[in-house]
Structure 1
Amino acid sequence: MTAISALIDFSSRAEAGGPRLRQAFGVPRETLVAHTPEQVRPVLDAVQSQARQGRWCVGYLRYEAACAFDPALAVHEADGALAWFGVHDQALPWPEEIGEVAEPTLAWGPALARADFDGVLARLQEAIAAGEFYQVNYTSLLHGRIEAAPGADPRAQALALFAALRRAQPGGYSAFIDDGATQLLSVSPELFFEWQDGRLLARPMKGTAARGATPQEDAEAAAHLRGSAKERAENVMIVDLLRNDLSRIAEPFSVAVPRLFHAQALPTVWQMSSDVTARTRAGCTLADVFAALFPCGSVTGAPKVSAMRMIRALEAAPRGIYCGAAGVVRPGGDAVFNVPIRSVTLRDGRATCGIGSGITSGSQAEAEWQEWRHKRTFLERASAPFALLETMAMEDGFFRDSAGHLARLSAAAAHFGHPFPVETVARRLRRLRLDHPSGLWRVRLLLDAHGGVQAEAFPHAAAPPRVRLQLADRAFDASDSEFVRFKTTRRAHYDAFAPTREGIFDTLLWNARGEFTECTRGNIAFRIGGRWLTPPPACGLLAGIGRERFLREGRLAESVVRVEELPRVEALAFVNSLRGWVDAELDGRAP
């Protein structure tokens, strides 16, 4: 494979069926680098000159480059080049093989402590009440390291991780840029600006809501985001800031806002964005565009000068390329840059990733904290390989609930962006039936991120007539995770609750609201008032195939059951497709 220094996969302005800018770049013919604020504008001028000579320029600006355009924009001292661009004579086809190397595992250190987060939010709201600013985008950096096999090629590992990140956060504005010392792996959904034929489009992204666990909940989440006074106000503040920024380089009366409050569906969150457009004045340069807009107001707050001053006081380290800009200037001078949020930066095997949100007078600590959790879900997806999993019962050559299992596997593949080779799956299962025509078997069906299928059969004993469960000693804090709603090989959150005492079959879990959810290996049923009840998916659980069958048959009904209601429980049952319906009792208490 040709040595790759950069990959660009950006949405087009047309977006509705328009072609993506999807190119690779080899070793640059030269690099344009700014190490000091005084060098940033000359580098951008050189980039524009090279593009007008028919070359491609791919690179980034660190957030700390802001002081090159206005000394009043307070920043930390940068920990690398303020601006870096590789110059290329030509673009190369996209190398499909980058995703074929097994991706490495990323081990992340502890995140910002909740108490510290709450303290910062209180300080920010005091400053907002005092009139210092309207909004501040507060962020924190996560630090981690790559755990790769000895002798693994670092560049191949970086590319494989980039491929994993793109699967976790598809679409948008993806960029891989290797400057020789640092690798940027950006899967940002946010457009900073696109400048083409004198027309400038900025698309600030402000306003976030978690995706729903069901289609109905998802639609409700999107509607709530679009209608939220707090989220709309947060978005409008930044739109107004961008309108003002664009007016500095725009032809008179050309600044417009053709689209407000657009809710965009990302894999784990809904994001609200708005479009701000303008026609740039004659003689406007790339450096002028950056001077007017950089950093993007969505990652600073408003007003920008006072917000950045507070960011400098509260954030302990430079943001780096995170919250700066990364993109490409094409032959002729058209330019498109993302805001590198949802990005990982690698250096000597060490990784950083920034997470943040906009804080306003209406912000609530718990809601903002949960927003940070949801925003980092893309990172959790990509930080360790996993496969989609179905566990099926095969008895005398026939699969139990096969249609339900395959439908759930298909839905999980669509959610995570995994290929779903229907014929390959059918062929593997048919082979198992032929090889094991009699007896009871546990079938383990796996689908990996590349569409690879594995299917194995293991002898399985009949389910016991009754099992003993233990009650979890703490809340199950992963109950809102997509790795709970979908069945995968990522099971550390369940393994942490595995039974430790002899004779205990499984652990009964409950969430932070005190609601029962499921067991670690199946669903749970409670008989209360003569009716059999099972928690709904909104409580945070995997909707098991056996559970769904018993719901269809009318044997079960959905209802929230709280821990405090245990004295009312007349009987328990453990439920899954593999074992069916198994009577259960809770250790230390016999319903």
Structure 2
Amino acid sequence: MDPGDFRPHFLEMLSNTRSTKAQTTGDGYRFLPAAPTGPHPSHFIPSETCQEGQGGQNRAGMRRFLWVNAYDWPEEVLLFEDPVEVLSFEGGDPQEFFASCEEYLRQGFYLAGFLTYELGYFLEERLRPLSGRVPAWPLALLGVFKEPHRLSGLRPPERRPFVLRELALSLTFEEYREALEKIKAYIASGDTYQVNFTLKYSFAFEGSAEGLFWELLRKQRVRYAALVEGEGWVVLSLSPELFLRRQGPLLRTSPMKGTAARRPLPEEDREVARWLFGDPKNRAENVMIVDLLRHDLGRICQAGSVWVPELFKVEPYRTVHQMISTVEGELPPGISLYEILGSLFPCGSVTGAPKIRTMEIIAELEPHPRGIYTGAVGFMEPSGDFLFNVAIRTVEIRKGRGEFGIGSGVVWDSDPEAEWRECLLKARFLTESPPEFDLVETLRFSPGEGLRRLERHLARLSRSAAHLVRPFPESRVRQALAEATRGLSRPSRVRLLLSEWAEVRVETAPLEDFPRPVRVGLARRPRVPDPVYLFHKTTYRPWYEEARRRVQALGLSEIVFYDEAGRLLEGTITNIFLERQGRLYTPPLSLGLLPGILREELLARGEAEEAVLTLTDLLSGRLYLGNSARGLALVEALYFL
């Protein structure tokens, strides 16, 4: 990447209106997935390496700082531009550095930037011997800004291409397992209870870092995202974890410990979330860090004010569920920024417990400085309020090289293979690129009735948005539907589309019945790349697109699919029902089916029930197709394709 080419026009790409949809090109992103075991660490190339005690080279100023909360609705965006000064700490007395920060705040300025993990060595006297182990960054870098641009809602820019190549892990699995055995030895000797052990991907990077940021944010909508651009470097932090938020005297931290992979079937996914909430191992790891942070807050907060308002909360993200707890306390008047960070930085969730001894163990066992990864990225306001994330899921890019850290909490009974898998699961955030698609609802409109089954359709849309961690602007959706149908004078097909960025479109067309006679082809369902897409109605259904073309070419009404066991599944745009002895039966969703609205209504009214149906069952019953727009239709002829 030529850093000189990185000139994002942030005000052009951010908007609090959604009247138009961001255009895309077809040649945007390329990823090279990492091998499960990773290459030899000699292939790991840090983005820049410092000699012991020398500090980072090529120190450069900051240009812009972008902060995005894309998890909550509406999204919140802050853009800091054109700093009047850049404050850099590269060693020495951190108290003086933070005093100068506070002086700028008193003058009415904002500060925004990052704190590296290794800054913590300078905030604790016992860790000073480790201060020669420094990253290729200033230990702290904060731009001094005037008031930021504040926007509600966002619309990403036109896609800008990038390429990630030569992904390499800093450790092989064997080296990783050896490190975990040493950690367990330290646990056995009483030195530590838990160690957050990390490793890194390195990679070659070409193209637009801005494009990578928006792609990562699209893949994983988080509350604490930041893009920091400097002279020849870019930091992209897509963190779901809050390190510290100060609001007046209230200080809050929300450690994240406990991870479980998402499941495609909503019912199974909810069961995974319930399992994570009650899992003893994940709870033990989480509460260990909660206790550590209660202790850290207790050192600086008013006596008796520290409490835990939320324990073991499970939040969904695109690929994983995370367990999160919250600790709060009330700060005394006059406490300094240095005192707050000296007690709490770095966050205990990325070190382990007890904190100081565990940081010494981390320095011994991890082969490279962490840098910004597991430090903090955030901003401060003139009032003294501030907001910093824990810099996980953070990409550092300079001179055409990038780094991305991953890690997990290691305790006495940790299984190295399971911890390794957890790390690679977290890396999917960087190495995999899910398809772009809209959520869809297709409704039937009649002049006298309006939109049939509207509430069921909106409920399904809301469930899909929640499962896929997308916003659902219900009032905007209802308004768009009302406007689109206001002038309709005949039965119509109404197609509602909701984009990843909460853009709403409505298309209307004359309502057509199933082509008569209703003739259906039977075919084996093609492979589906990710089962999650079977359970949500979206514009991404490539496995059925070819089948729809065959329907039209062969003059059929529909194609009904079956699996390798001969079990009947669904049509390309319909659910199926088999009538036997006056009763309707429909396949269970667990086979990988869209939860159709007509199907849902018939089940709720007791007019149908779930049952596994096979090709053989077609000999003893009558087959129906059904969807909400067209209703039920009896199949008159079947053909094997």
| Partner secondary structure for residue 313 of structure 2 | strand
Match of 1:558 in 2: 610
How do 1:470-481 and structure 2 match up within 5 A?
A: 470=524, 478-479=530-531, 481=532
- 1:56 matched to 2:110? The reply is yes
Maintained 8 Å contact 1:202/1:276: yes
Residues 1:294 and 1:570: Cα distance change in structure 2 (over 3 Å): farther
| Alpha-carbon distance between aligned partners in 2 of 1:581 and 1:399, rounded to the nearest angstrom | 22
Match of 2:193 in 1: 134
Residues 1:301 and 1:350: Cα distance change in structure 2 (over 3 Å): same
- The farther-off stretch of 21-30 and 275-284 is 275-284
Maintained 8 Å contact 2:480/2:506: no
Structure 2 unaligned regions, length at least 5: 1-8, 12-62
Match of 1:188 in 2: 239
| Alpha-carbon distance between aligned partners in 1 of 2:369 and 2:572, rounded to the nearest angstrom | 41
Residues 1:367 and 1:163: Cα distance change in structure 2 (over 3 Å): closer
Match of 2:300 among 231, 244, 250: 250
Match of 2:461 in 1: 409
Match of 1:328 among 366, 379, 391: 379
- 1:423 matched to 2:474? The reply is no
Maintained 8 Å contact 1:106/1:145: no
Structure 2: which amino acid aligns with 1:205? M
- The farther-off stretch of 370-379 and 546-555 is 370-379
- 1:545 matched to 2:561? The reply is no
Structure 2: which amino acid aligns with 1:543? P
| Alpha-carbon distance between aligned partners in 2 of 1:392 and 1:95, rounded to the nearest angstrom | 34
| Alpha-carbon distance between aligned partners in 2 of 1:259 and 1:42, rounded to the nearest angstrom | 34
| Alpha-carbon distance between aligned partners in 2 of 1:575 and 1:155, rounded to the nearest angstrom | 48
Match of 2:148 in 1: 92
Deviation at 1:29, TM superposition (A): 0.2
Maintained 8 Å contact 2:75/2:153: no
Deviation at 1:27, TM superposition (A): 1.0
- 1:455 matched to 2:514? The reply is no
How do 1:141-540 and structure 2 match up within 5 A?
A: 164=218, 169=221, 172-195=223-246, 200-209=251-260, 223-246=274-297, 249-250=299-300, 256-259=306-309, 261-268=311-318, 270-277=321-328, 285-304=336-355, 319-331=370-382, 333-343=384-394, 354-363=405-414, 385-391=436-442, 403=454, 404-413=456-465, 416-419=470-473, 420-429=476-485, 444-448=495-499, 449-455=501-507, 457=509, 462=515, 464-470=518-524, 478-479=530-531, 481=532, 483-491=533-541, 505=559, 508=562, 523=575, 534-537=586-589, 540=592
Residues 1:121 and 1:91: Cα distance change in structure 2 (over 3 Å): farther
Deviation at 1:534, TM superposition (A): 4.5
Residues 1:535 and 1:8: Cα distance change in structure 2 (over 3 Å): same
| Alpha-carbon distance between aligned partners in 2 of 1:470 and 1:110, rounded to the nearest angstrom | 38
Deviation at 1:85, TM superposition (A): 0.5
Residues 1:305 and 1:519: Cα distance change in structure 2 (over 3 Å): farther
| Alpha-carbon distance between aligned partners in 1 of 2:346 and 2:105, rounded to the nearest angstrom | 23
Residues 1:131 and 1:545: Cα distance change in structure 2 (over 3 Å): same
Deviations along 1:98-150, one digit per CA (max 9) or x if unpaired, are 5263455777779999x9779946963674366364333355657789998xx
Deviation at 1:83, TM superposition (A): 1.9
| Partner secondary structure for residue 595 of structure 2 | coil
| Partner secondary structure for residue 47 of structure 1 | helix
Residues 1:567 and 1:516: Cα distance change in structure 2 (over 3 Å): closer
Match of 2:52 in 1: none
Deviations along 1:462-510, one digit per CA (max 9) or x if unpaired, are 27523121255x7x5622x3x443222344687899999x999576468
Match of 1:151 in 2: none
Structure 1 unaligned regions, length at least 5: 149-153
Maintained 8 Å contact 1:75/1:308: no
Percent identity between the two aligned chains: 32
Residues 1:383 and 1:540: Cα distance change in structure 2 (over 3 Å): closer
Residues 1:418 and 1:103: Cα distance change in structure 2 (over 3 Å): farther
Residues 1:79 and 1:256: Cα distance change in structure 2 (over 3 Å): same
- 1:82 matched to 2:139? The reply is yes
- The farther-off stretch of 518-527 and 462-471 is 518-527
- The farther-off stretch of 392-401 and 314-323 is 392-401
Residues 1:200 and 1:425: Cα distance change in structure 2 (over 3 Å): closer
| Alpha-carbon distance between aligned partners in 2 of 1:526 and 1:369, rounded to the nearest angstrom | 47
Match of 1:47 in 2: 101
| Partner secondary structure for residue 250 of structure 1 | coil
| Alpha-carbon distance between aligned partners in 2 of 1:40 and 1:311, rounded to the nearest angstrom | 22
| Partner secondary structure for residue 231 of structure 1 | helix
| Alpha-carbon distance between aligned partners in 2 of 1:159 and 1:140, rounded to the nearest angstrom | 21
Maintained 8 Å contact 1:105/1:146: no
Structure 1: which amino acid aligns with 2:82? V
Deviation at 1:384, TM superposition (A): 5.8
Match of 2:86 in 1: 31
Deviations along 1:35-78, one digit per CA (max 9) or x if unpaired, are x4448665434323322343221111123444444256699763
| Partner secondary structure for residue 322 of structure 1 | coil
RMSD: 5.7
Deviation at 1:294, TM superposition (A): 2.6
| Partner secondary structure for residue 488 of structure 1 | coil
Residues 1:260 and 1:384: Cα distance change in structure 2 (over 3 Å): same
Match of 1:124 among 180, 201, 209: 180
| Partner secondary structure for residue 88 of structure 2 | strand
How many residues are paired up? Answer: 556
- TM-score scaled by structure 1? 0.70
Residues 1:39 and 1:522: Cα distance change in structure 2 (over 3 Å): farther
Deviation at 1:533, TM superposition (A): 5.3
